[in-house]
Amino acid sequence: MRLKNYRFFNIGEDHDYFDDHNNAEIMRKVARKNYLPMNALLLDLINEYGSAFKVSFSISGTALDQFEAYAPDVLDSFKRLAATGQVEFLAETYAHSLSALKSKDEFTKQVQRQSAKIETLFGQKPTTFRNTELIYSDEIGAMVADMGYDVMLTEGAKHVLGWRSPNYLYTNAINPKLKLLLKNFQLSDDIAFRFSQQSWKEWPLTTEKFVGWLNQLDPKEEVINLFMDYETFGEHQWEETGIFDFMRALPGRVFSHSNFTFNTPGELGKNLQPVAPIHVPFPISWADEERDLTAWLGNELQDEAFDKLYQLEQKVQKCDDPQIHHDWLYLQTSDHFYYMCTKFFSDGDVHKYFNPYGTPYEAFINYMNVLSDFILRVDKNTSFGKEPENKKVGTTGKTLKKKTGTTPKKVRKTTKAVKKPKSKK
């Protein structure tokens, strides 16, 4: 959900922050290239293979809002998938936000709101949770367990796993009732990032080759979790690359040349036994070689904007203006902070065309101008007994002394959990 070009002189005068026209155009473009053809392909596969083929989706509330506003045919296509009974819809934050890092109360509210919307639209009450950008830590997992979720997805980060494999079911270190499914990032990224990369030594990727890699894994390993942006199919990897043909042929190859089966995360949580707890004292994510938070937080631009936003939480709760609550929610979307990243990522080229700003500094200034106006509105609406702070927020020279770079962006994920049954004796 992109902000419009919001100038210093708009502060106090213009309370409409979002570029509705551009957001509608982007949604329709991605719907045409990605959502509609891929949903149709998945429905065809379910019709062909029945209960043998399954898939799961994590869709933010803000994405669902945009489907309703700009692409109702996309929403209808997801409803058709839901009606098959072969698709699991996961819980996540409503605004695809970083609230788990800042406020348990806000995090819980957003998850409950998104879960309720999933149940309303698709007739499912989520039991599996996927946090924004696969962000996870022991404390975040404990919060998710407290909300009653059985399973959570996160990254199979090397520095967390050490010698262990991501291809097992694990548990949260604080509350072992929460089971963890870890992304196999090597195999996931082979499809999501490297599929059309002709410099890759394994290009072109075929279903024969991919299923061959699955068969080479240790037979004791129980599950291969493929998590990726849904925009992989048709947007990051264009139709001309053969990505749709690959996905159409993949299930058949799995069934005919391996012992693997397709399962939803919820099924895996019930059918597999955890092998051990995973200790994650510091938050991890899907992003970059470090699998850390620096795509969204860490430099002075990001931290100033993030902290300034969440300083408003208690005031916003006292506001009685529904539009303020709407804007508060949408201003938390992780993309706003991601656009301010000054670090270059190896997979940034795949995503940089989604960034509407020329530099991270432009993103920061635009966001802080919007936030300045939002602060004025919140102060005016609340009864704190003081005059609004009529000042412009945080465009200091000190804050702007960072290097320029581009970073990747996650929009939403689809998950395909492939379970390998135990070998027969």
Asked if residue 367 and residue 245 are part of one domain, the reply reads no
Residue 346 has pLDDT above 50, yes or no: no
Catalytic residue among 92, 133, 155, 222: 133
Indicate if the pLDDT at residue 394 is higher than 50: no
Is the domain of 196 the same as that of 309? Answer: no
Split at pLDDT 50, 70, 90, the class of 355 is confident
CA dihedral 163, 350, 225, 170 (to 10 degrees): 50
Same domain, residue pair 246 and 345:
no
How many Å apart are CA 19 and CA 8, to the nearest integer? 17
What is the reported pLDDT for 1? 86
Cα distances (angstroms) measured from residue 163 to each of 156, 160, 272, 400, 401 = 12, 9, 21, 41, 39
Q: How confident is the model at residue 417 (pLDDT cuts 50, 70, 90)?
A: low
Do residues 97 and 219 both lie within one domain?
yes
Q: Are 367 and 360 in contact (CB under 8 A)?
A: no
What is the CATH number for 107? 3.20.110.20
| pLDDT of residue 351 exceeding 80 | no
DSSP state, residue 420: P
Q: What is the pLDDT of residue 138?
A: 98
For the question of residue 133 being annotated catalytic, the response is yes
- Number of separate domains in the chain: 2
Report yes or no on 5 lying in a domain. no
10 inside domain: no
User: Do 116 and 234 fall into the same domain?
Assistant: yes
Q: Is the pLDDT of residue 82 over 50?
A: yes
Spatial CB neighbours of 416, under 8 Å, sequence gap ≥ 6: 54, 55, 56, 225, 226, 262
Helices (H), 71-219: 72-83, 104-122, 138-146, 158-161, 185-192, 207-215
Assess whether 273 and 331 both reside in one domain.
no
Contact (CB, 8 A) for 169 and 273: yes
109 and 212: one domain? yes
Q: What does the pLDDT look like over 125-161, one tens digit per residue?
A: 999 999 999 999 999 999 999 999 999 999 999 999 9
Q: Please say if the pLDDT value at position 234 is more than 50.
A: yes
46 part of a folded domain: yes
Q: What pLDDT does 425 receive?
A: 43
Domain coverage including residue 309: 294-409
pLDDT score of 409 more than 60: no
Does 35 map to a domain?
Answer: yes
pLDDT digits (tens, 9 = 90+) for 360-383: 999 999 999 999 999 999 999 996
- In three-state secondary structure terms, 256 is helix
Residues 262 and 390 in one domain: no
Asked if 127 and 209 sit in the same domain, the reply is: yes
**Mean pLDDT, the chain, integer:** 90
Q: Report percent pLDDT > 90 for the chain.
A: 85
Contact 409, 51 (CB under 8 A): no
Q: What is the C-alpha radius of gyration for the chain, rounded to an integer number of angstroms? A: 22
> Would you say residue 346 lies in a domain?
yes
Residue 344 pLDDT grade (very low, low, confident, very high; cuts 50, 70, 90) = low
Distance of alpha carbon 371 from alpha carbon 84, whole angstroms:
43
In a domain, 304, yes or no: yes
Statement to judge: residues 154 and 189 lie in one domain = yes
> Are 66 and 89 in a shared domain?
yes
Decide if 118 is inside a domain: yes
254 and 385 fall within a common domain: no
Q: Considering the domain boundaries, does residue 12 fall inside one?
A: no
Tell me: the pLDDT tens digits for 245-299? Answer: 999 999 999 999 999 999 999 999 999 999 999 999 999 999 888 899 999 999 9
